Structure 1
Amino acid sequence: MYLIEPIRDGQWVYDQGTSMAIQAYVRDTLFLDDDIIFPYMVNPSIQIGLNQNAYEEVNQPYMDAHNIGLVRRETGGGALYLDDRNMSYCFLFNNASQTDIYGNYGKLYQPIIKVLEKLGVDGLTQEGRNDLTLNGHKISGAAMSVVKGRVYAGFSLLLDPNYEVMEKALNPNQKKIASHGVQSVRARVGTLRDALAPEYQDITVEEFSDLILKELLEVDHLDQAKRYIFTPEDWQTIDQIAAERFNNWDWNYGRFRDFEYQVDQRFSGVGTLHVGLNIHKAYIQAIEIRGDFFGIEDVHKLEEALLGVALDKSAIAEALAPYNVNDYISNMDNEAFVAFILEIPDEGDDNNG
């Protein structure tokens, strides 16, 4: 496995947009003869999922007052707070068609669980769709997608979570959690530091990450790791991607609009799903699908398929018939999606997951 670190002119890159641009550049253009891992640690920022509306997920005035940035991922999932007190890792796994790792968060987390157990951490479990918990408290959230035949995956590790900033910067969906209070955040979010063996209690986040990387890469020292070093030409393209996409207001904030008709529900195994529609003479004039769900295909294809379709069960079902909704919204089938849009109750659905 290759190690790619966000180091430029000998300095670690902490800009959240540049960190995401590095991942996009490597994912889309760099094809090596082995899998890739790239760690990143950023300035205080909120990272939201591909299909989320920023204004529904964050407390923007608080973020502005405390210089907290925002960046949109190119994978699904929910919003999370990141800073330089915690480390995140991304992976590119070659030959997606020959591995069962896509959607298998237990398998994704298995190596890191083994590493953390070596550091004295006990009580780790993969729970829900994509979380890693420590004695019932969340210490990581993961996301995945398939791009150009490779599985693009990543997760964060909470070594020293800042509970107060998490609580104030994020604007949680009330279908997911009942309280905004710091005590509620502490009850849900865990910390790895307290669970480390005594000899690791005073470890820095950089030392912590180096230990993890050495174990994952199976080397005694990171100097022995197989690396790819960015060239000046690589950095030029990365800067362009950051400017055009991840540090661009339109990408991070400008993707969503207000609608006259909206449905909002949380589905077990899927996540929170929102659909906004403008209806003219009983036909869908505009539609947006958003939420913290995952999917392999671009959900905009479903939106395009429904434009101009009558707000009618059979008409919507017919328009969606050429598509497998599960490819766009993981664990959601066509029938359930049509019922959701029309707010048709389904006795078999668990809406509290």
Structure 2
Amino acid sequence: MYLIESKRNGEWIYDPGTVMALQEYVKDHIFLDEDVLFPYMMHPAVQIGKFQNAYEEINQPYMDEHDIKIIRRETGGGAIYLDDRNMSFCFLFDGSNDIYGNYARLYEPAIRALEKLGVHNLEYHGRNDLIVDGKKISGAAMTLQQGRVYAGYSLLLDPNYEAMASVLNPNHKKIGAHGIQSVRSRVGSIRSHVAPAYQDMTMWEFTDYMICQLLDITDVREAKRYELTPEDWAGVDQIAAAKYNNWDWNYGRFHQFGYHLTKRFPIGTIRIDLSVEHAKIAAIQITGDFFGTKDIKEVEEALMRVRLRKEDLFSALEPLDLAYYFGDLTKEDFVSFILSEKA
């Protein structure tokens, strides 16, 4: 099995879009004589499944506040939070074997590796999860393309429970102890289960260990590697720009959906009913018990055909003084409300 690390000029790449583009480029353009392993980590990001509606999976205001990106992957499954405290592993397998759809087999090498670190009571659970003592430490996904199986899973060494509780649950308006405890009750930490001798293992030591176990080698320097050429990187950059770092791919894939929002502000209750097409506002109605001196239809008209993106909403509202329509309500609060969770 070949090792392809997310490195450029010897340095690890953390940009979520580039990391995903690298894997897609290799999947579609590089055909080697053996399977491929891609270990990767990234700056904080929410990775959603190919068929998910981004607006139903994330807390956009929290993501904006904490500079967390969203990336839509090419495989199905659910939304996961990724950052530089945990390593993920993707694979390209020969599609002629029976691994496609067989998540238990996909996890087998990882289970053996973790057991050597003293992690016990590991089991494959449900459709695509790996759990220890009833808590999830990994979620997997896979797809079949061009005769090869593209599969992967994350391994939660040191989960950021606070970020998970906030970013993946659009029904939480604030980070609260209840939300964090809820995540802790469902999500586990690999580190808390390893033997005492490995408690101080760093993320990079853990990564090298897993690479060696997955490749069946004793030292990571023994790995058979494929190094991307400048031509390869040009292809990766093109995919990243056109797809994974493209707002329309990550947010705008769904033809139409609708939702409503209701919130009590000091100036009164505001309700917004939205119809969204390709992530642009196709219809909007604003109602409530607030007081205004101008017709609220002017705000509705300003927001028509505007993308559900913070900067676009601010730009559309820039000519308007919201005090005339709502009273003492800032554009920041109003835009945050539009992008917040459904009531």
- Alignment-derived partner of residue 17 in structure 2: 17
Map 1:205-284 → 2, pairs under 5 A: 205-259=203-257
The one-character-per-residue Cα deviations of 1:12-60 (angstroms, maximum 9, x if unpaired) are 0000000000110011111000000010010001000000011110000
- Alignment-derived partner of residue 113 in structure 1: 111
Residues 253 and 155 of structure 1, relative CA distance in 2, 3 Å threshold: same
- Alignment-derived partner of residue 4 in structure 1: 4
Map 1:1-353 → 2, pairs under 5 A: 1-94=1-94, 97-171=95-169, 181-259=179-257
Aligned-partner SS, 1:187: helix
Residues 59 and 222 of structure 1, relative CA distance in 2, 3 Å threshold: same
TM-score (norm 1): 0.70
Instruction: Output the CA distance in 2 between the equivalents of 1:258 and 1:236.
Output: 34
Aligned 8 A contact 2:96 2:147 in 1: no
| Aligned amino acid, residue 35 of structure 1 | D
Residues 136 and 172 of structure 1, relative CA distance in 2, 3 Å threshold: farther
- Number of residue-to-residue matches in the alignment: 259
Instruction: Output the CA distance in 2 between the equivalents of 1:212 and 1:148.
Output: 27
Shift of 1:163: 0.4
Aligned-partner SS, 1:126: strand
Residues 226 and 173 of structure 1, relative CA distance in 2, 3 Å threshold: farther
Deviates more, 1:106-115 or 1:196-205: 196-205
Decide which structure has the larger Cα Rg and report it.
2
The one-character-per-residue Cα deviations of 1:314-349 (angstroms, maximum 9, x if unpaired) are xxxxxxxxxxxxxxxxxxxxxxxxxxxxxxxxxxxx
Shift of 1:100: 1.4
Aligned 8 A contact 1:6 1:19 in 2: yes
The one-character-per-residue Cα deviations of 1:84-130 (angstroms, maximum 9, x if unpaired) are 00000000001xx5311111100000110000001111011000100
Instruction: Output the CA distance in 2 between the equivalents of 1:258 and 1:24.
Output: 27
Which structure 2 residue ranges, 5 or more long, are not aligned?
260-274, 279-343
Aligned 8 A contact 2:143 2:151 in 1: yes
| Aligned amino acid, residue 136 of structure 1 | G
Aligned-partner SS, 2:159: coil
Shift of 1:172: 6.0
Instruction: Output the CA distance in 1 between the equivalents of 2:234 and 2:256.
Output: 37
Shift of 1:255: 1.1
| Aligned amino acid, residue 127 of structure 2 | R
Aligned-partner SS, 2:224: coil
Aligned 8 A contact 2:6 2:39 in 1: yes
Shift of 1:154: 0.3
Aligned 8 A contact 2:2 2:36 in 1: yes
Aligned 8 A contact 1:57 1:173 in 2: no
Aligned-partner SS, 2:189: coil
| Aligned amino acid, residue 222 of structure 2 | Q
| Aligned amino acid, residue 9 of structure 2 | D
Instruction: Output the CA distance in 1 between the equivalents of 2:171 and 2:82.
Output: 19
Aligned-partner SS, 1:98: coil
Shift of 1:257: 4.3
Kindly, what percent of the aligned residue pairs are identical?
62
Aligned-partner SS, 2:225: coil
Instruction: Output the CA distance in 1 between the equivalents of 2:12 and 2:54.
Output: 27
Which structure 1 residue ranges, 5 or more long, are not aligned?
262-276, 279-286, 289-353
Question: Pairwise CA RMSD of aligned residues?
Answer: 2.1
Instruction: Output the CA distance in 1 between the equivalents of 2:137 and 2:144.
Output: 24
Instruction: Output the CA distance in 1 between the equivalents of 2:161 and 2:221.
Output: 35
TM-score (norm 2): 0.72
Instruction: Output the CA distance in 2 between the equivalents of 1:59 and 1:3.
Output: 35
